[in-house]
Structures are given as structure tokens and as C-alpha cells.
Structure 1
């Protein structure tokens, strides 16, 4: 038995198809706004005026910076000419790359080889450490470091 497709059937299909599209778009828009971690700088134009000089000063420090996490132990290694150093950490935020919901502020202590801190175990995945450190000569070093998760 075949049924005739009427205008009401076409209208219902049309509304359902576009309803799904609109629902998906609204869900994605909500997630984008809800998980947005915020701005890196308040005014990008002002920040751009000193970017090259700031970057050159940071590169001139010659620091080799890396971070690892094993369990709940976060280790930040800053090497200057191959030797570990412990600059003043002005700020540090440990968290996911795409969300600020689980951000933590580690309290680093220098153990002779690295700056270490205990953080809530976040498990695997993509973790970042955003630091601002001050060198002995007063140069501000700021960088976002991808944290390597050790097994």
C-alpha cells in the first residue's frame, strides 16, 4: 500500500531537518562560548608594539624550558647553558589547552634539578603550563609550554 505525500508531510520533514541543524548549531555555539578560556592579552595592538623586543630579550636569555607531569608531580625544567636554574616565578597556570575549568596554580619548589609542584592528577591528554618568570637581570620570560605526560 502506498501513501500519497502531501504538503503536510513535506512541511514536517522540512521542519524536522532544519530543527536538527539548528539544534546542532546551538549546541556547538553554547560549547564554544562555555569553554572559551579567555583572551591572552587585553589589547592585541598594544601588545604587538613591544612583541619583537620582548621576544628578542627572551631569546637572548638562552633558556631551554620543558615541563613534564608524572602522576601528581609537575616538573618545570629551566636550563641556562645546560645548568638548571630557579628564576622567580611570577605566575604559573597549569591546565587544559581549551578550558579553564580545571586550571591550577602550582606552588613550585626548586629541588636542584627542576622546579617541582604537586598538582591534582589530570590524567593523560593535552596539558599546558603558562608561566611568567623573571630572570636575574630582570627580563620577563613568558611562555605557554606543552606539558609532556609521562607514564
Structure 2
């Protein structure tokens, strides 16, 4: 039987930490590759007018209802009285909150949208403008049951 020497201990130390570092690098690389975390190109510039945009949007009093059942997505944008809001240039995008692989752009003019969504959490991003030009943006998360 061989005696445990300093070289053996050093090799075990380097090997153990080498495995830990390799796993961390692999996980970090996959995390950045699948979700860059980018919401806006320049967050500082966007933040300069955020409060004014938010106040204008909240003054509209619009609410968004998104439901998914039996392979169909129903989206309703309602005004303060609960009637359908008049929104111009509406754009809709649906995807997973953590990856771009399943993302789709949607056409909301049809009302009910047939979609085959896998179980889990989904995010619907809506944007458009009110007749007075007020920008409306809303992100709605919902869960699709198994």
C-alpha cells in the first residue's frame, strides 16, 4: 500500500476544485446562452421617462385578462368601465419567462387564438396605444395546467 503524500493531496485538491470550476462555468454559460436577461437595449435611457409613461398608462385605467383553456388563448383588454378598450397598433408576443425558444408573435384581431402551449408558466407581452397616443404596455404571466 502506498503512503499518502503531499503530491496525492495536492492532486486531489486540484482535481476536486477543477470539477467544481468546470461545472460552474458550464452552468453559467448555459444560463447566459438561454436567457440573456435583456429587457431593453439601454435601461438608463428607458428609466428617464418611466414614471411619466407609467402614470399616463395608469390614467387609462385599462386591464388585461388572459386565459388559456382547451388549446385556446383568450385575451381581453378592457377599459375602466369593463368594455373592450380601443387600442391601436396592438402587438402581442408570448413566450416562456426564462427562455426564447418557444416565443411566438400573435395576431389579436381574431379574438380567440388557437395555440398548443406546453404546461408551465407563460408570459404574454402586449403593446399598443390609446386613441390619444398614450403608449400601453403590459406583461401578463399565466400558468398552463398539465
Cα separation, 1, equivalents of 2:76 and 2:145: 14
Q: CA RMSD in A?
A: 2.0
- Tell me which of the two structures has the higher relative contact order, counting C-alpha pairs closer than 8 angstroms and 6 or more residues apart: 1
> Unpaired runs of 5+ in structure 2?
none
Q: Are 1:78 and 1:84, in contact at CA under 8 Å, matched by a contact in 2?
A: yes
Partner of 1:143: 138
Q: Are 1:92 and 1:130, in contact at CA under 8 Å, matched by a contact in 2?
A: yes
1:50-80 CA-to-partner distances (Å, cap 9, x unmatched) read 1111101100111111212224312112111
1:58 aligns with 2:57: yes
Post-superposition offset of 1:11: 2.2
1:8 aligns with 2:7: yes
TM-score under structure 2 normalisation?
A: 0.86
1:118 aligns with 2:117: no
Query: Which stretch has the larger CA shift, 3-12 or 47-56?
Result: 3-12
Cα separation, 2, equivalents of 1:150 and 1:108: 23
1:75-96 CA-to-partner distances (Å, cap 9, x unmatched) read 1121111123352343221000
Partner of 2:96: 96
Q: Are 1:71 and 1:123, in contact at CA under 8 Å, matched by a contact in 2?
A: no
Partner of 1:134: 129
Cα separation, 2, equivalents of 1:36 and 1:150: 23
Cα separation, 2, equivalents of 1:138 and 1:22: 52
1:137–1:59 Cα change, 3 Å: same
Q: Are 2:93 and 2:103, in contact at CA under 8 Å, matched by a contact in 1?
A: yes
Post-superposition offset of 1:13: 1.0
TM-score under structure 1 normalisation?
A: 0.84
Secondary structure of the corresponding residue to residue 101 of structure 1: strand
> Unpaired runs of 5+ in structure 1?
none
1:77 aligns with 2:73: no
Post-superposition offset of 1:140: 1.0
Post-superposition offset of 1:24: 1.3
